[in-house]
Structure 1
Amino acid sequence: GIIPALESSHALALAAKLAPHYTADQILLVTLSGRGDKDVDQVLRILES
């Protein structure tokens, strides 16, 4: 799997919301950048609080 950076995660969330509104012949492209593994500890702290 992949662990996108937090910024890219926002793009993926928006793409998931937009995708149902696209037709089969349309393309939805999302590029990813960064390393989400660096953010895992920060996200864990937020989820545990």
Structure 2
Amino acid sequence: TPLARQGLSLEEATKLDPLKDLNEKWGNGFLKPDNFLATIYQTIVERNKK
């Protein structure tokens, strides 16, 4: 993702709310947008290092 490629930390990426366009449709389930981002972001960062 562009945020991971920019080297942003999870905290920085969360503040930018990259999922805001999807929150209305997908953000009301058991996993809230910030929690979803936290779950996947580190994996994305690690994969971008390769």
Please give the TM-score of this superposition, normalised by the length of structure 1. Answer: 0.33
Q: Whose Rg is larger? A: 1
Please give the TM-score of this superposition, normalised by the length of structure 2. Answer: 0.33
